[in-house]
Amino acid sequence: MKNNFAIVDIETTGGSAKREKIIEVAIVIFDGKKIIDSFESLVHPERSIPSYITRITGITDDMLIGAPKFYEIAKKIVEITENCIFVAHNVRFDYSFIQEEFNRLGFTYSRKQLCTIKLFRRFFPGLKSYSLGNLIKEFNINVDSRHRAMADVVATLDILKLGLKIPDSEQTLSNIFGISIKETKLPPGINRETIENLPGETGVYYFLDMFNNYIYIGKSKNIKKRVKQHFQKITPKSTKLYNTVRKIEFEITGSELIAYLKEAEDIKKYKPPANKSLKNDEFPYSITYSKNNKGYINFKIAKSINNNSAVLSNYKSRKAAKSYLSTFIKMNDLCENVSGTKNYDGACFEYGLGNCNGACIGHESPEEYNQRIIDAIKESVLFNHKSFALIDRGRLSQESSVVLVENNNYAGYAFFDNTAIEFKSISDVKRVIEKGSYDKQFNAIIKRSLSDESIRIIVFPN
């Protein structure tokens, strides 16, 4: 294999990457013959360690006093695993935690992955278990201290070495890398190196034909991963792209909001033929509202609108409409039963949590409930403020992005040095932005982003 292997193990406060944190990490870099580098550290999770985790790992809260937080070792993890294959026993677990820690910092971490469980199922079929503990016993691997990161990394390395001794192991490893695209699936003129050199970051990507015409424009939080997905399955769309794509370009935005806006702007500008779903401005799915037989306002998501219903907002997909309606209900402490999104017997689930005023069991009258909805709808018709700026992440660590809304309409965006520029007025923003054209689609994109807690809002006087 041309790449080095980064064998990784972590210990955590629990099993969910979204909710839990890393408390220890160990990495060994193996070139196929010998260890060439290593790194290990306890990690302060900024929370207490559950007692059952301490029983398993032996790591206590006292041991983590003075340990670095993840952001303090993040750069080292990026550097030591650069151009390496990320190896772990049950790689999805370790990799998802590392990725999520970087996501919290506003960065994307992307590496090729190899799971030693998958490796050994292929090389040694029929074992009663492929857990690390069972493989250690099965192959008499010496381990100093199980459930500590470095000890488990060393054990995983020994397992990897056993696999690499199998005849044709390199060919088998290539087959296991299902996430990497085979050369035969790539369009003529696009080689594997081109794909692997794409960034695993947020931005917009462009497919061009042999005459440099744009044939497809897309956005993604991970450009490399999304581009790969286009060619991993044979569909009418992927076949068409395969036959016409000769060049891939991209633009990193850092901000997902700007990726959405730039994608929409460039699709309108270049009109790529493969972007059929975005050729027009139609928003076919509507959130409508009307009174039920008890006098309470409820909501429905539909393509066809009943004449007796009013429209709250319009969306390009049912999924987007459902997501916004769920947010609208939660933000305004509405009842899931009465709103029509759930169907509980008696009181709704949110009533028990104190997030519903009891319309589901008659504790809140139709008049009171409906008035709260009307007030909320008035505020949500467009934006709560006529002119404001949204400050989001940029493409670099010292860079941020700004999106301007002026007089209730999208006005443009820009990237700026967050150590040198401070926006005190709308004029300050207008001096740096690239002017954008108004479109209701752009306003809808901005509106959806307002629920993103990572985006800062600056409101300007009307």
Q: Going from the N-terminus, what domains does the chain have, and what CATH number goes with each? A: 4-176 (3.30.420.10), 183-278 (3.40.1440.10), 285-378 (no CATH), 388-459 (no CATH)
Residue 144, pLDDT above cutoff 50: yes
pLDDT at residue 177 above 70?
no
Can you tell me the mean pLDDT for 207-227? 93
pLDDT of amino acid 367: 94
Mean pLDDT confidence for 393-404 = 90
Q: Which residues contact 60 (CB under 8 A, 6 or more apart)?
A: 49, 54
- Identity of the residue numbered 225: K
The rounded distance, in Å, linking the Cα atoms of 161 and 142 is 14
Quick one: pLDDT at residue 437? 64
Q: Among 93-97, 125-129, 333-337, 357-361, which is the least confidently predicted range?
A: 125-129
Q: What is the mean pLDDT of residues 195-216?
A: 91
Closest CA to 107 of 452, 412, 399, 456: 399
Give the residue-averaged pLDDT of 355-379. 87
Q: Tell me which range, 134-138, 267-271, 405-409, is most confidently predicted by mean pLDDT.
A: 267-271
Give the pLDDT band of residue 391 (cuts 50, 70, 90).
very high
Candidates 89, 147, 230, 363; catalytic one? 147
pLDDT for the residue numbered 452: 82
Other CB atoms within 10 A of residue 237 CB: 13
How many Cβ atoms sit within 10 Å of the Cβ of residue 443? Answer: 16
Helix (H) or strand (E) holding 286: strand 285-291
385 in catalytic set: no
Give the per-residue pLDDT at 179.
40
Q: Specify the amino acid at residue 286.
A: S
Is pLDDT above 60 for 174?
no
The pLDDT score that the predictor gives to residue 40 is 97
Which two tokens mark 259?
């990726």
Contact 335, 370 (CB under 8 A): no
Higher pLDDT, 262 or 278: 262
Top-ranked range on mean pLDDT: pick from 35-39, 95-99, 119-123: 35-39
pLDDT, residue 392, reads: 95
Could you tell me the pLDDT band of residue 278, with boundaries at 50, 70 and 90?
A: very low
62-66, 122-126, 208-212, 260-264 — which is least confidently predicted?
122-126
0.85 surpassed by pTM: no
What was the pLDDT predicted at 394? Answer: 92
How far apart CA 240 and CA 235 sit, in angstroms, is 8
Lowest mean pLDDT among 84-93, 176-185, 452-461: 176-185
Query: pLDDT grade, residue 182 (50/70/90)?
Result: very low
Confidence of residue 389 (pLDDT cuts 50, 70, 90): very high
Which has the minimum average pLDDT: 89-103, 176-190, 379-393?
176-190
pLDDT score for 121: 80
Determine the pLDDT at residue 208.
Answer: 94
Distance CA 24, CA 59 (A): 9
**Judging by beta carbons within 10 Å of its beta carbon (0-12, 13-18, 19+), is residue 362 exposed, middle or buried?**
exposed
Q: What is the pLDDT of residue 20?
A: 92
Query: Percentage of the chain surpassing pLDDT 70?
Result: 88
Q: How sure is the predictor about 181, in pLDDT bands with cuts at 50, 70 and 90?
A: very low
- Do residues 439 and 410 make contact, with C-beta atoms less than 8 angstroms apart? yes
pLDDT classification of 366: cutoffs 50, 70, 90: very high
Asked whether the beta carbons of 298 and 289 are under 8 A apart, the reply is: yes
Amino acid 344: pLDDT: 78
What 3-state class would DSSP assign to 353?
coil
Position 281 confidence tier, pLDDT thresholds 50, 70, 90? very low
10 Å CB burial of residue 152 (0-12, 13-18, 19+) is buried
Q: How far is CA 372 from the centre of its chain?
A: 34
What mean pLDDT is predicted for residues 425-429?
Answer: 92
- Among 143-157, 177-191, 257-271, 285-299, the range scoring the smallest mean pLDDT is 177-191
To which residue do tokens 């909320």 refer? 376
In terms of average pLDDT, the best of 9-13, 88-92, 273-277 is: 9-13
CA distance 208 to 216: 7
**Pick the residue with more confidence: 333 or 316?**
333
Q: Residue 385's pLDDT is what?
A: 77
Higher pLDDT, 177 or 455: 455
What confidence category does residue 175 fall into, taking pLDDT thresholds of 50, 70 and 90? low
Please give the share of the chain, as a percent, with pLDDT higher than 90.
37
Q: In the sheet where 310-315 sits, what is the strand order?
A: 297-302, 285-291, 310-315
- What is the reported pLDDT for 132? 83
More confident residue, 436 or 420: 420
Specify the higher pLDDT residue, 309 or 78.
78
Compare 445 and 38 and report the one with higher pLDDT: 38
| Of 284, 297, 281, 212, the residue nearest 249 (C-alpha) | 212
Whether the Cβ atoms of residue 202 and residue 252 lie closer than 8 Å to each other: yes
